Amino acid sequence: MKAVIRSTTILTVRHRGQVVLAGDGQVTLGETVVKAGARKVRRMHGDKVLAGFAGASADAMTLFDRLEGKLDQYKGNLTRAAVELAKDWRTDKILRRLEALLLAVDRDHTLIISGTGDVIEPDRGVAAIGSGGQYALAAARALMEHADMEAERIVRTAMAITADICIYTNDQIVVEVL
């Protein structure tokens, strides 16, 4: 998988029958914050799929559009759409230069999709990408194990913890629930 992208935090938690995806709103250029309220998560395919990105915004928009097209082509089959997107992303001369990671979820699957051809379904119902991804992942796992919380509260709390630690993550969180 590509090196950690320093741009955001996207977190998903699958817990107690709920699937939640969240992303912070900070956009940076180098060491400067240029926007605080960007929306890095999107509902797709009739609100049956949620996706978030970490990386260059224009690249992510291209990948969101491609994923949406693949979802339409494969009738909402997220796994098949993700594999086909990853194949295109890796082999297409223009797409393979895109610098981003995608995290996509539906009712049954959680997938991390990269430009190196990776389509990874993480264990434990929790996954995160971006510069704050490891902080958010650790916080969410701990909260899932040791706190009596619903998925949405776990995500909000883990993202708040991450915003306190990661300089590329802020506390303007967009949360989507399936």
Contact 77, 88 (CB under 8 A): no
Q: What's the per-residue H, E or C state across 5-71?
A: CCCCEEEEEEECCEEEEEECCCEEECCEEEECCCCCEEEECCCCEEEEEEECHHHHHHHHHHHHHHH
Q: Among candidates 117, 107, 124, 119, which has minimal Cα distance to 50?
A: 107
Does residue 8 have an active-site annotation?
A: yes
CA nearest to 99, candidates 51, 53, 50, 52: 53
Query: Rounded to an integer, what distance in angstroms lies between the CA atom of residue 178 and that of residue 48?
Result: 7
Give the phi and the psi of residue 168 in degrees, each rounded to 5. -100, 10
Cα–Cα distance, 18 to 152 (Å, whole number): 8
- Catalytic position from the list 8, 9, 12, 169: 8
As annotated, the active-site residues are: 8
